[in-house]
Amino acid sequence: MLRFLLLLPLLLLIVLFVVSNTAPVEVGLWPTGVSVRAPLALWILGAMAVAFFLGALATWLPALGARRRARRAEARIAALDQEILALKTRLAEGPTLLPPAG
């Protein structure tokens, strides 16, 4: 509920922006001569969406190595915990006779 209350002003601003920018704008791709006519709000919101996803990708890709190292460290910790548990149970069973050295 709190999340909705925090997002409500942002959603209201987006709706007001879309309603007040309905004039059609023609956007063209220079070397091809292709052009598309759409409302200004659609172009701006589309550009914002593309920028958001490119930024998310630029943040996510460098973190791949750190996440891989974290998974390996967690697996190693789990293996060491199992080894500690096995050693504790062996110690609790009582002393074992070690063969004489030499």
72 within domain boundaries: yes
Reference 39, options 27, 16, 22; nearest CA is: 22
Q: How many CB atoms lie within 10 A of CB 58?
A: 9
Give yes or no for a contact between 73 and 61, defined as CB atoms under 8 angstroms apart.
no
**pTM above 0.95?**
no
User: How does pLDDT run across 25-49, given as a tens digit for each residue?
Assistant: 999 988 898 999 999 999 989 999 9
Q: Which domain, by its residues, includes 80? A: 64-92
Count the domains in the chain. 2
Statement to judge: residues 51 and 70 lie in one domain? no
Give yes or no for a contact between 28 and 19, defined as CB atoms under 8 angstroms apart.
no
Statement to judge: residues 52 and 69 lie in one domain? no
- Neighbouring residues of 96: CB distance < 8 A, sequence distance ≥ 6: 90
97 within domain boundaries: no
User: How does pLDDT run across 86-99, given as a tens digit for each residue?
Assistant: 999 988 887 666 66
Q: What DSSP element (H or E) covers 51?
A: helix 40-60
